[in-house]
Amino acid sequence: MRQVTLIPGDGIGPEITEAVKAVFRAANVPVTWEEENAGQTTFDSVGELIPQTLIDSLNKNKVALKGPITTPVGKGFKSVNVQLRQMFDLYANIRPAKTTPGITSRFENVNLVLFRENTEGLYSGLEIFDERLQIADSISRVTRVGCEKIVRAAFEYAKKHNCGKITVAHKANILKNAGALLLRVAAEVAKDYPTVQMEDKIIDNMCMQLVMKPEQFKVIVTTNLFGDILSDLCAGLVGGLGVVAGANIGDDIAIFEAVHGSAPDIAGKGIANPTALLRSAIMMLHHIDLKEEANRIEAALEATLANKEECTGDLGGKASTMAFAQNIISKL
């Protein structure tokens, strides 16, 4: 048995984590969950957003599945998601987007993986506000070390999966420092990967290209904020936030979570789509070398997704979160 940390999270988090747990149980996956929460709920009960017990659990288990955590707009609440990524140096945020038979999309052959730098850039937390002058600074700090780690992760992936091409998305023309460093480092690293062709696109054009002709992209690598925005855009290309998974990977620890947030608009109604979290859990199974279990669950999921009737409302079906999970279980 492999022990994994489970962070249920806020909003729809507990509902979709229950669904994933049910599927894992039915598939006899040799994983036991160590449940440790973070965010507002733990702040209210133990006075900490990220309790020491969660930190200990992550250091011990090395792998976690995480539900979304709400970050209120305004002062005084630093994003728990960003803090966890920085605390454990989970520098690579890997977000695949692929069209799936049965899921409505404007496209047929999208199959790309986004590598988002996950600890630096505009998410560095270097925030200054001058009350008197009413001047706001959000500083984008990008380091050579940080760029090299995310770029190498992307090139390694492209090489391993014979992707042939990598696209660096940036704004180096305007952001002369923080924007240009990633591009410069990528051009250097590219020399080590002769089988992978590197191209670069300015982020505005990148957005247009993605919505018009997404099939042309295989692996995209970009800085933190652009990656955050592009990954929701890519979700929109392949069926929405209900279906796209993600992984936050460091050299030591990995946290798997959906791209989406806590979805307060549908929380508590039992209608959220657990696919995104389940796909993240499947990525996790590959990471811990439970490939057979990963493939079996994926096959049952894909078979369920092929039939709209059996899916949740965001995919055009009428099933509740748990009914959808049951439909997957019946195909295991």
Instruction: Summarize as ranges the residues that interact with ligand NAI (CB under 6 A).
Output: 12, 68-71, 81, 241-242, 257, 260-266, 272-273, 276, 314
* Strands, sheet with 254-257, edge to edge from the N-terminal-most edge strand: 31-35, 2-7, 63-66, 254-257, 247-249, 92-98, 111-117, 219-222, 165-170, 197-202
Closer by beta carbon to ligand NAI, 121 or else 179? 121
What are 225's two structure tokens? 């904020």
273 binds, among ligand NAI, Mg ion, none (CB under 5 to 8 A by kind): ligand NAI
Give CA 10 to chain center in angstroms. Answer: 16
What are 157's two structure tokens? 């992936």
By CB under 5 A, residue 310 contacts Mg ion = no
**Least Å distance between CB 73 and ligand NAI?**
8
What are 291's two structure tokens? 């490939």
| Rounded CA Rg of the chain | 20
Closer by beta carbon to ligand NAI, 61 or else 248? 248
Closer by beta carbon to ligand NAI, 8 or else 214? 8
71 binds, among Mg ion, ligand NAI, none (CB under 5 to 8 A by kind): ligand NAI
CA distance 146 to 281: 26
By CB under 5 A, residue 228 contacts Mg ion = yes
CA distance 238 to 227: 17
CA distance 153 to 133: 42
- Least Cα distance to 96 among 217, 4, 224, 264 occurs for 217
Please, are residues 247 and 280 in contact by the beta-carbon 8 Å criterion? yes
Residue 117's CB is within 10 A of a number of other CB atoms, namely 27
Closer by beta carbon to ligand NAI, 77 or else 193? 77
Closer by beta carbon to ligand NAI, 97 or else 163? 97
81 binds, among Mg ion, ligand NAI, none (CB under 5 to 8 A by kind): ligand NAI
**Least Å distance between CB 17 and ligand NAI?**
11
* Binding segment (CB under 5 A) for Mg ion, from list 86-94, 226-234, 289-297, 318-326: 226-234
SS3 call for 236:
helix
**Least Å distance between CB 114 and ligand NAI?**
14
Please, are residues 216 and 209 in contact by the beta-carbon 8 Å criterion? yes
Closer by beta carbon to Mg ion, 228 or else 257? 228
Backbone angle region of 74, left / alpha / beta, with phi > 0 → left and psi within -120 to 50 → alpha: left
By CB under 5 A, residue 117 contacts Mg ion = no
203 CB contacts (<8 Å, ≥6 apart)? Answer: 169, 170, 171, 222, 226, 230
**Least Å distance between CB 142 and ligand NAI?**
21
**Least Å distance between CB 102 and ligand NAI?**
16
* Binding segment (CB under 5 A) for Mg ion, from list 102-110, 134-142, 224-232, 313-321: 224-232
214 binds, among ligand NAI, Mg ion, none (CB under 5 to 8 A by kind): none
**Least Å distance between CB 229 and Mg ion?**
8
329 CB contacts (<8 Å, ≥6 apart)? Answer: 22, 23, 26, 27, 300
**Least Å distance between CB 227 and ligand NAI?**
12
Among residue numbers 161 through 200, which ones bind Mg ion (CB under 5 A)?
Answer: none
266 binds, among ligand NAI, Mg ion, none (CB under 5 to 8 A by kind): ligand NAI
Q: Which residue is nearest to Mg ion (CB)?
A: 228
**Least Å distance between CB 176 and ligand NAI?**
30
What are 87's two structure tokens? 């605390």
- Interacting residues with Mg ion (CB under 5 A): 228
